[in-house]
Amino acid sequence: MSSVYDFSVKDMKGNEVSIGDFAGKVLLIVNTATGCGFTPHYEPLEEMYKEYRDRGFEILDFPCNQFANQAPGTEDEIHEFCTLKFGTEFPQFAKIDVNGDNADPLFAFLATEKPFEGFGKGLKFAALKTFSDLNNKAFGDKAYIKWNFTKFLIDREGNVVARFEPTVDMDDVKNAVAAELEK
């Protein structure tokens, strides 16, 4: 497989959705959790979505409970939380695994295309790395994603052009999305 368009995922109701349905759009694919310290990322994500969706931008939200059980609810409970608390309107898909033997193939592909390069420098980032390493130890070489709210930027041709760890400033993510939309 050579592009994200080659993958299918399940929507919140369990129906197959081809990522190819989003062909020609700039995508931000995100693994999320409702009980994480990074959950407030939903707010700038939704702002970005409202600002750019008319220019061919989509955010694809994939809840995941593999990081300290921070997304324990059902798809409906997670969706309700996100829409009521953050007013999210971007597509939300079925809860998935992003690591291990049951990792969704889309996320294994994304992480292979843009591997983890670190959370950044400083005490806060070192603490997250330590916690992440402990959490992901069970997944061994299939620990593709290190924490919630890892974001992958996809160009209009389906190529993975950037990876943003949850520690990356959301303004930097927005600037990268804006730049990709200008191409």
Residue among 84, 12, 98 at smallest CA distance from 46: 84
Type of residue found at 67: F
pLDDT at position 124 = 77
Walk along the chain (183 residues) and give the pLDDT tens digit of each residue: 589 999 999 999 999 999 999 999 999 999 999 988 899 999 999 999 999 999 999 999 999 999 988 888 888 888 888 888 888 999 999 999 999 999 999 999 999 999 999 998 877 788 888 889 988 888 988 999 999 999 999 999 999 999 999 999 999 999 999 999 999
Q: Which CATH architecture has domain 4-182?
A: 3-Layer(aba) Sandwich (3.40)
- Which residue in the block uniquely carries the two structure tokens 């969704």? 104
β pairing state of 151-154 and 160-164: antiparallel
Type of residue found at 101: D
Q: Catalytic amino acids?
A: 36
Cross-strand pairs, 60: 29
- Asked whether the beta carbons of 73 and 34 are under 8 A apart, the reply is yes
Please enumerate in sequence order all residues whose Cβ is within 8 A of that of 46, keeping only pairs 6 or more positions apart, or say none: 86, 87, 88, 89, 90
User: Could you state, in order of their start, the residue ranges of all structural domains in the chain?
Assistant: 4-182
Type of residue found at 24: G
pLDDT at position 84 = 81
